[in-house]
């Protein structure tokens, strides 16, 4: 009978095994700690983006934090903005897109790079595209620029941003590690991250849209009274702190009732839109134009005393009356406007709310005098 001889390991062998096991355990522990740290960083990131109060706040956080916590060389976002509504509204709300070179807009989902086939509302959502970076094929997601060192990218993940199966854009992740994103890799993690980003994006975009709608006049697209009331208080505070003057003007179309009576309400609306356009053409970017309702426009001029405001008012009056306004049905109409101007220097030094009311009342009084004096003129407020 053959015996298998069992040879007891030597003490040295046991010690070596032991050391190898310990090293392996230490490595696994280190990996677990590392994964835990990554998870915690991602949780903190999720919390931060969920708490973002505005669109610039959200995209700023994504571009600042995601490359760091995910150890990526490039993170960009492509947003579907078919009619450029998102871009227009954000610009109107003061978002500086130059600060976000990694924020990209596309006109349709076809431009995102996913294989959509004949996509219907019932189609399955597209999956993330993981693979080697292709300098020719990925220029749309990773445009060359100082902020996006494309040359160093080796592998990329293009992850769809989905809201209720609707594709709102893509999250584009670029790594210098060729093995970071490979087609065989699981996509649960990046899909989860993209779903949180998509929810946050949709939320802030709808909030900004609501903010915009709440502060603008739907007929002419200029600001409304709520905006001016708020802005005036801020500007009065700033003007007093920095010791400059601000002015306010009321612009009222003359005999607008006649315009409406002869051209109809729709014709009147067209005139209002064109007048808003002409006034805007005479203003600086820092000035604010609003419709206070009816045929009354107001302008808030920053860093302008009564003299310069009256000068601008005269330019506006001429721009309104200088040429006929062409209407959709081939008709033309000639109109004039009366303007009342007042400045903060002419108001008392009370609380900003009282000063704002006084400034508006002074401009209104000057407007009344312009109407009483024969219309088509500018009158500056002066205390009697
Ligand atoms: N088309 C149009 N008309 C409006 C709108 N809001 C107010 N109006 C009209 O504006 C006219 C204002 O008329 P009035 O306040 O009597 O003044 P006016 O005819 O402009 O005369 P003066 O201001 O004294 O020169 C009215 O006919 C309103 O119906 C609007 O949103 N669209």
Rg (CA), the chain: 32
Rounded to 5 degrees, φ, ψ at 121 are -60, -25
Q: Clarify whether residues 38 and 160 are in a common domain.
A: yes
Q: What is the DSSP string of 180-198?
A: TS-TTS--HHHHHHHHHHH
pLDDT at residue 57, rounded to an integer: 94
| Cα-based angle 246, 250, 228 (whole degrees, multiple of 5) | 60
Q: Phi then psi for 116, rounded to 5 degrees?
A: -95, -15
Q: Where among 161, 193, 214 does a domain terminate?
A: 214
Evaluate whether 169 touches 112 at the Cβ level (below 8 Å).
yes
Give yes or no for residue 371 CB within 6 A of ligand 1: yes
- On whether residue 29 sits in a domain, the answer given is yes
Instruction: Please indicate, yes or no, whether residues 356 and 317 belong to a single structural domain of this protein.
Output: yes
Residue 337: beta bridge partners?
A: 253
CATH number at residue 159: 3.30.450.40
User: 309: domain range?
Assistant: 219-380
How many domains is the chain partitioned into structurally?
A: 2
257 CA → ligand 1 middle, Å = 5
pLDDT category at 152 given cuts 50, 70, 90 is confident
Tell me, yes or no, whether 9 lies in a domain: no
256 CA → ligand 1 middle, Å: 5
- Find the helix packing angle between 11-50 and 188-215, rounded to 10°: 20
Give the burial class of 268: count Cβ atoms within 10 A of its Cβ; 0-12 exposed, 13-18 middle, 19 or more buried.
buried
> SS3 of 312, please?
helix
- Model pLDDT, residue 285: 82
Give the end of a domain, one of 188, 214, 240: 214
Q: Report pLDDT for 97.
A: 93
Q: Of 355, 320, 312, which Cα lies nearest the Cα of 336? A: 320
Residue 226 lies in a domain: yes
Tens of pLDDT, residue by residue over 29-88, are 998 998 888 888 889 999 999 989 899 999 999 999 999 999 999 999 999 999 999 998
Residue with tokens 């976000």: 100
Q: Which two tokens stand for residue 218?
A: 């739907």
The answer on pLDDT for 350 being more than 90 is no
The verdict on the CB of residue 372 being under 6 Å from ligand 1 is no
Co-location of 272 and 224 in the same domain: yes
Distance CA 61, CA 78 (A): 16
- Ligand 1 centroid to Cα of residue 264, in Å, is 12
Residue 164 domain flag: yes
Share of the chain above pLDDT 90, in %: 75
């Amino acid at each position: 009978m053959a015996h298998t001889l069992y040879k007891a390991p030597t003490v040295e062998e046991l010690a070596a095994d032991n050391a190898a096991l310990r090293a392996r355990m230490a490595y696994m522990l280190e990996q677990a700690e590392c994964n835990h740290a990554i998870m915690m960083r991602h949780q903190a990131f999720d919390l931060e983006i969920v708490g973002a109060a505005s669109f610039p706040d959200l995209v700023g956080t994504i571009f600042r934090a995601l490359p760091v916590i995910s150890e990526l060389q490039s993170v960009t976002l492509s947003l579907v903005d078919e009619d450029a509504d998102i871009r227009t509204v954000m610009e109107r709300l003061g978002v500086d897109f130059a600060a976000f070179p990694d924020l990209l807009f596309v006109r349709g989902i076809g431009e995102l790079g996913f294989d959509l086939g004949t996509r219907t509302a019932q189609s399955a959502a597209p999956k993330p595209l993981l693979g080697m970076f292709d300098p020719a094929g990925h220029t749309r997601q990773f445009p060359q620029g100082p902020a996006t060192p494309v040359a160093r990218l080796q592998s990329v993940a293009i992850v769809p941003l989905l809201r209720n199966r609707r594709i709102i854009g893509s999250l584009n992740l670029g790594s210098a590690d060729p093995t970071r994103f490979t087609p065989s890799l699981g996509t649960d993690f990046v899909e989860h991250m993209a779903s949180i980003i998509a929810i946050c994006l949709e939320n802030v975009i709808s909030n900004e849209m609501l903010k915009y709608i709440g502060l603008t006049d739907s007929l002419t697209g200029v600001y409304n009274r709520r905006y001016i009331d708020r802005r005036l208080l801020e500007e009065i505070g700033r003007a007093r702190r920095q010791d400059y003057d601000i002015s306010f003007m009321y612009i009222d179309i003359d005999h607008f009732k006649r315009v409406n009576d002869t051209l109809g309400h729709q014709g009147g609306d067209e005139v209002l839109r064109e007048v808003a356009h002409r006034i805007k053409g005479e203003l600086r970017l820092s000035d604010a134009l609003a419709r206070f309702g009816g045929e009354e426009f107001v302008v808030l001029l920053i860093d302008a005393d009564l003299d310069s405001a009256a000068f601008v008012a005269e330019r506006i009056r001429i721009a309104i009356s200088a040429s006929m306004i062409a209407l959709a049905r081939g008709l033309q109409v000639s109109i004039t406007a009366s303007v009342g101007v007042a400045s903060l220097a002419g108001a008392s030094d009370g609380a900003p709310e009282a000063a704002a009311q006084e400034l508006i009342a002074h401009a209104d009084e000057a407007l009344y005098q312009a109407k009483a004096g024969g219309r088509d003129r500018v009158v500056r407020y002066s205390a009697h």
